[in-house]
Amino acid sequence: MKVAILGESSADEAVVRIFVDAILGEPTDSVERYRLRSRGWPAVLNQLPAVLHALYYQSDADALVVVVDSDSHPHDVAHDDPGPRDDSCHLCAVRSKIDAVRARLRPVQGRGSFRAAAGLAVPALEAWLWCGQDSLVTEQNWINGLWAGEIPYTKLKLKQWVYGTDRPDLVTETTRATERARRLAENLAMLEERFPIGFGALCREVRGWRGDLR
Amino acid sequence: MSQVNDIPIIEAIEFTNFKALRNAELPLSQFTLIVGPNGSGKSTVLQGLRWLRGVGINFDHALTIGVPRDDATRIVMTIRTRYAGKRFNVIRRLTPRHHNETDSVPRIAGNELYQHAVWQMLQTLRTFSLVPERLSQPVKLSASMNLLDDGLNLAGVLDRLRDQHPERFEQLNEELARWLPEFDRILFDTPMEGHRAIQLRTRKGQARIPASELSTGTLLALTILTIAYIPDSPKLVALEEPDHGLHPRLLRDVRDALYRLAYPDRFGESRPPVQVIATTHSPYFLDLFRDHPEEVVIAKKEANEATFQRLSDMPNVEEILEDSQLGDAWYSGVLGGVPVAP
Ligand SMILES: [Zn+2]
């Protein structure tokens, strides 16, 4: 399966690829034609229409996976209720944009189905990577803290934990992040249990593709 | 005491009557990125640092426009330093009578015991305004590993690095190959006796490309890496627009290289940290400092007078930036530091 990945950095994208492969249970191919690169929120949202259009019309990609950091805008299951989405939520904003673009795509002869899935790391991808190292690091703990006005850990703190510094260079960041991701990929159940909203959503969508794998 | 505290650091520089900096204070950190419109004093800061190092300035050219010139008029730069937990001011003054002053020793107020370290730091500070055409020049070999302000002796510095610190030269080659994957090695040519010129070898086909045929961006990337890998680095480095001419995707690597200078312990290096000051006009480069607003200084210019403000000192900055890229927010004008309407 050929899957394009769009995240907030190239290190994030390498991590998401490992998780997507683990969820699908088989390695995916990247879309070599486009060396996609985002530069953080909200650039990823602004780039999304161009990326989706190009992938659909000009590539043989089967799917696009988008994973972003929630920052202080986590998703709530109430957002899934019918009706207008809460676009201040990063996950809902990504989903809205994907839906809007897909609604406008015209049929192309010879083009198979095109899937898209979105995930949300609360508050940042490093929280997924630190999963299992500290039982306090869970989606719910962070969200509870946010509502209580006292977040239990910051994005910078997470970086210090995962990389040993909040200013990692790109090589260190990518190396450490993918090492952790490979270990976690062997225990997706834990990630899904501790990050049921943002990681769980990604798992459910990507698992749904399994049935129609070639 | 940690290593960082054992190295003198400039906490701030106050400017009086110096070009657009009629009355401005520049706050500095271990790493500082200054953004702002043209003429907002960014280059004047670098000129001030050169003045400190002994490069002369002309009183009449440097005096703020509109400030009356009489015998009592002074151009003053006060460098507020901290070293070993103590604070010292280094003051540089220029009077109309000494309007070409080059040789007076800056006055350092404070305990004499510490003056030497501070003075040494100020003597070794480097200010780079790299000139792309000069980076490719063949140069006469010399024993010095000090890169000139415009980068003219790049080939000579790299040649010394290869001979004296081969392991660092190898690391530099590896890093260069990662930044610019089309090349795999720095090579040298001897265009005439006692001279050196740089060549880069292409990964594919192993062709030797002379420096004169390399793009501006490639030469600048090589120079920034060289600055980051010179072993006896100065205590303070100021760089004018290190992003200039580079592909935006390389900017993260540039940031990493400058962070490597400023925070070597976090990169597994044991050498002393270098205080780094950089200027930029690039929103993409600025984006990379979103997590550290204390490292960003906005230069603002109003009615020909420039002032500086640390981004983290700006009221409500977290709310303003909440859902925006830092570079976009700056470009929009809400943070200041953009050209004013004519
Ligand atoms: Zn939502």
pLDDT score at A212:
64
Q: What percentage of chain A carries pLDDT values higher than 70?
A: 99
Asked if residue B7 and residue B121 are part of one domain, the reply reads yes
Indicate the residue of A43, A165, A170 with minimum beta-carbon distance to B325.
A43
* Amino acid at the residue A180: R
Cβ of A88 and B267 within 8 Å? no
Question: In chain A, whose CA is at the least distance from the CA of B265?
Answer: A165
Question: In chain B, whose CA is at the least distance from the CA of A70?
Answer: B323
DSSP, res A2:
B
pLDDT score at B109:
63
Give one DSSP letter per residue of B32-99, joined into a string. EEEE--TTSSHHHHHHHHHHHHT----HHHHBPTTS--STT--EEEEEEEEETTEEEEEEEEE-STTT
Pairing relationship of beta strands B208-210 and B195-202 according to DSSP bridges: antiparallel
Cis peptide, bond prior to residue B231, ω within 30 of zero: no
Asked if residue B256 and residue B202 are part of one domain, the reply reads no
Indicate the residue of B256, B287, B292 with minimum beta-carbon distance to A170.
B256
Identify whether B130 is part of a domain. Answer: no
pLDDT score at B235:
87
Q: Is A98:A205 a contact under the CB 8 Å cutoff?
A: no
CATH code assigned at B10: 3.40.50.300
Q: What is the pLDDT of residues A13-41, one digit of tens each?
A: 999 999 999 999 999 999 877 777 778 89
Pairing relationship of beta strands B31-35 and B296-302 according to DSSP bridges: parallel
pLDDT score at B341:
63
Cβ of A40 and B325 within 8 Å? yes
Neighbours of B190 (CB within 10 A): 12
pLDDT score at B110:
62
Torsion angle (degrees, nearest 10) of CA B316, B38, B307, B289: 40
Asked if residue B202 and residue B78 are part of one domain, the reply reads no
Determine the distance in angstroms separating the CA of A62 from the nearest CA of chain B, rounded to an integer: 26
Is B141 in a helix, a strand, or coil?
Answer: coil
Question: In chain B, whose CA is at the least distance from the CA of A40?
Answer: B325
Cβ of B178 and A88 within 8 Å? no
- Per-residue pLDDT, averaged over A73-91, amounts to 87
Question: In chain B, whose CA is at the least distance from the CA of A156?
Answer: B291
Asked if residue B219 and residue B118 are part of one domain, the reply reads no
- Pick the more confident residue, B124 or A131: A131
Report the alpha-carbon distance of residue B79 to residue B182 in Å, rounded: 44
pLDDT score at B103:
40
Backbone angles phi and psi of B129, in degrees to 5: -120, 85
Q: Which of B206, B233, B260 is the last residue of a domain?
A: B233
Q: What is the pLDDT of residues A98-122, one digit of tens each?
A: 999 999 999 998 888 899 999 999 9
Indicate the residue of B178, B256, B287 with minimum beta-carbon distance to A39.
B287
Q: List, in sequence order, every beta strand (DSSP E) within chain B.
A: 9-18, 21-27, 31-35, 75-83, 86-94, 107-109, 126-128, 139-140, 183-189, 195-202, 208-210, 236-239, 275-280, 296-302, 305-310
pLDDT score at B55:
83
Domain count, chain A: 1
| Cα distances (Å, whole numbers) of residue B74 to A83, A173, B60, B71, B91 | 68, 50, 11, 8, 12
Asked if residue B312 and residue B276 are part of one domain, the reply reads yes
Mutate: best of A155, A165, A167, A171, partner B, most B CBs <10 A: A167
Asked if residue B34 and residue B121 are part of one domain, the reply reads yes
Asked if residue B241 and residue B119 are part of one domain, the reply reads yes
Domain span at residue B194 reads 135-233
CA of A23 to the centre of ligand 1 (A): 22
Q: Which of B233, B249, B274 is the last residue of a domain?
A: B233
Asked if residue B282 and residue B157 are part of one domain, the reply reads no
Which residue ranges in chain B fall short of pLDDT 50? 1-5, 102-104
Which residues 53-112 of A have a C-beta within 8 angstroms of B?
71-73, 88
Asked if residue B316 and residue B182 are part of one domain, the reply reads no
Domain count, chain B: 2
* Average pLDDT along chain A: 93
Q: Which residues pair with B93 in a beta bridge?
A: B76
ipTM over 0.95 threshold? no
Give A96's pLDDT tier (boundaries 50, 70, 90): very high
State CA B32 to chain mean position distance.
9
Domain span at residue A31 reads 3-213
Q: Is the pLDDT of residue A200 over 60?
A: yes
CA of A120 to the centre of ligand 1 (A): 9
Q: What is the pTM of this model?
A: 0.87
A212 touches chain B (CB under 8 A): no
The residues placing their C-beta within 5 Å of ligand 1, an ion, are: A 75, 79, 89, 91-92
Rg (CA), chain B: 21
Q: Is the pLDDT of residue A94 over 80?
A: yes
Task: Show the CA angle centred on residue B254, arms to residues B248 and B260, nearest 5°.
Answer: 160
CB-based contacts of B211, cutoff 8 Å, min separation 6: B135, B136, B137, B155, B197, B198, B199, B200, B219
Residues from chain A contacting residue B290 (CB–CB below 8 Å): 40
Output the six-digit token pair for B32.
């500082």
Least confident of A24-38, A63-77, A162-176, B160-174: A24-38
